[in-house]
Amino acid sequence: MNRLPLLLLSFLLFPVTSLAHGPTPQKAKESVTINAPVGAVWNVIKQFDAIASWHPDVKASSGDGKNASDGIRSLTLKNDGQLVESLDYYSDKDHEYNYRLKTENVTVFPVSSYTTNLQVTAGDDANTSVITLKSRFYRGDTGNTPPESLNDAAAVKAMNAFFKNGLTGLKQKLEK
């Protein structure tokens, strides 16, 4: 039996564009070791809406003061862009919280959604801490042919830079 007519018929019924798919989740992860005990580090970063006190890319931050699920913070980035994030999980005991992008703004940050985990753990001794930021996110334009400024590479670059800058700012604040 000749399968060529069936193959041609399938291309007519299901055009090649139907084989295209949307974006795949991207990931970022950055860590830094700080010469300060876990408690000292946690005291600086535990207030979810006070990120501007240690992150150099955040010009201002405000929120509802809740360190619990559904806590909200608004960020004004150094480029004057605004982002709103929502707290999903908070553990003072584990020195950890998870949050997500609540209101996207792809003109200032080229991602359409993200979830992020921040955790502080003990380093090699009692006087050092390891802070880890990790995130899962999607590019700013979730269509099949995003512009370069909103593609996967732009999203990964922006998220990694934001994490690195934040961890550098935290280290500088705590080790001065």
Dihedral over Cα of 162, 30, 45, 104: its sign: positive
The band of 176, judged by pLDDT with boundaries at 50, 70 and 90, is: confident
What does the pLDDT read at residue 3? 63
Confidence of residue 37 (pLDDT cuts 50, 70, 90): very high
Residue showing tokens 């005291």: 43
Confidence of residue 4 (pLDDT cuts 50, 70, 90): low
Domains of the chain: 23-175 (3.30.530.20)
- pLDDT for residue 46 is more than 90: yes
Q: Residue 48: how many CB atoms within 10 A of its CB?
A: 23
- CA dist 142 and 49 (Å) reads 28
Per DSSP, helices labelled H in the chain are: 4-13, 38-45, 152-175
Instruction: Tell me the per-residue pLDDT of 55-71, one tens digit each, with 9 for 90 and over.
Output: 999 999 999 999 999 99
- Residue 30 pLDDT > 70: yes
Q: From CA 54, how far away is CA 75, in angstroms rounded? A: 13
Distance in angstroms (rounded) separating the CA atoms of residues 61 and 148: 29
| Residues, the chain | 176
In the three-class reduction of DSSP (H, G, I as helix; E, B as strand; rest coil), residue 163 is classed as helix
On average, the pLDDT of the chain sits at 91
In the predicted model, is pLDDT for residue 114 greater than 60? Answer: yes
Q: How far apart are alpha carbons 158 and 85 in whole angstroms?
A: 16
| Token pair of 71 as six digits | 């806590």
